[in-house]
Structure 1
């Protein structure tokens, strides 16, 4: 699939010396990769990738990955390039969907076009392993850091879902995680492996405790927490899921949310008791 630049990505594999590859949680076997030409991007973007647990692959590791990639049923490679003038016009154009927010998805015959207005355009299809993104040259810098994180979290959410991993906007805490809106969480997502019971966050990966809880902050509560009903819990997690779909929540995604709600507890938690990450010894 090469919609943005009109080239065959397989031909680019032959010129991989021009690209650097990054793997999400390298060493854990997650076949999720980003590739880009380092000279095209600001160092802030590379620092952000590292912070988000995208580890750089060596030349030897990249060659092995490309050799083995055809055998990865759920493998994904996102190629990120600075957008051409034509793509930049598409990124900046106003459309009717923009009244609902900066993000939009436009379905095509065999793929989807995701746009974060003013920042990036991503072409992806769940039947394709190779996805593409055109973006502004300042991707990852201070002015668009939140947008950049949200874009990459969308990529991860789409890529990890077939592996049984679902994400919710929020931050990890000692009790489990606080579920928040994307801007409140600073564009951060906590990913839950529903079957293996692993947690993937910016702080690293760890096994989930049986006592793991998903918390909703409430300013009106004092010195106590309230357990959410099953209906409230499912509705709350569905509204804060990082998986973004044109046609609404997919059946597998809804099933993963239901599994999380059956396995773990959802609590309404007093905001005053919330300890931000900066005050935690993480």
Structure 2
């Protein structure tokens, strides 16, 4: 990473106080004024000038560091983002593997170049990225970035919302783009509400409208496919080996339950 002669970029760090080496860099003048609040809602904290200087100095020596640069897409890139692709029939998201990197596209909104052997990734996107109009889709894109960047640290992302018992797993749109990130080794959980210690009695919950006044404990061989289905990691060839190992780890150490829908309570506010 080079120190810019003119500091036109603003830097953000994911859960800055927790020391996670995951960053976003953006020239805010290219985007909607809503972008800063959007990033902060996902727990990306703005960095001060001295913190940015420290980052630039130490970036190359931190083997887990990842930096995503957000840029307004050029007209040519926007055409690629909007053009029809055969993969569109499977959904808005797609990944194309290249020789040393991959291309992630969210149709109509963003195109990201990333490679797990590279520290700096780039994304061209609509100037409305992060605005209310594109809020959910922008959120999904940033959660994908976090999933790829955090996986080497032993942090697993699962679509869903936190509750007192643990978390309720959901489809991305049902959860409104919310994710619970679970640090397997340091035993933390990270959500858009904040962070807290991962308790030994943490539970994965699945809601079922057919159940009444009872819950069903899931067997490990049922919990693994459920977590695989709701995992935020997205790869051309499926889940990475490390991600599959994390799913197996949490499935052995934590319990899963099928709960009746009416028992669902709003998520706990971890910021309190």
Could you state the TM-score of these two structures normalised by the residue count of structure 1?
Answer: 0.94
2:221 pairs with 1:231: yes
Match for residue 114 of structure 1? 104
Unaligned runs of 5+ in 1: 1-9
Match for residue 60 of structure 1? 50
Match for residue 3 of structure 1? none
Q: How does 1:115-134 map to 2 (within 5 A)?
A: 115-134=105-124
Match for residue 39 of structure 1? 29
Match for residue 242 of structure 2? 252
Q: Any idea what the Cα deviations from partners look like across 1:173-223, whole Å, max 9, x if unmatched? A: 000000000000000110000111110111111101111100000001111
Match for residue 87 of structure 1? 77
CA–CA distance in structure 2, aligned partners of residues 131 and 280 of structure 1: 30
**Which runs of at least 4 in structure 1 moved beyond 4 Å after TM superposition?**
278-282
Could you state the TM-score of these two structures normalised by the residue count of structure 2?
Answer: 0.97
2:209 to 215, 219, 232: 219
Match for residue 21 of structure 1? 11
Match for residue 68 of structure 2? 78
CA–CA distance in structure 2, aligned partners of residues 218 and 160 of structure 1: 30
Q: Any idea what the Cα deviations from partners look like across 1:19-45, whole Å, max 9, x if unmatched? A: 000000002111000000111111222
Unaligned runs of 5+ in 2: none
- How many matched pairs? 272
Cα root mean square deviation, aligned: 1.5
Q: Any idea what the Cα deviations from partners look like across 1:40-91, whole Å, max 9, x if unmatched? A: 1112221110010000001111011111111110100000000000100000
Q: Judge which range, 159-168 or 137-146, deviates more.
A: 137-146
- Go from structure 1 to structure 2 and tell me whether the alpha carbon gap of 1:153 and 1:16 turns closer, same or farther (over 3 Å shift): farther
SS at match of 1:110: coil
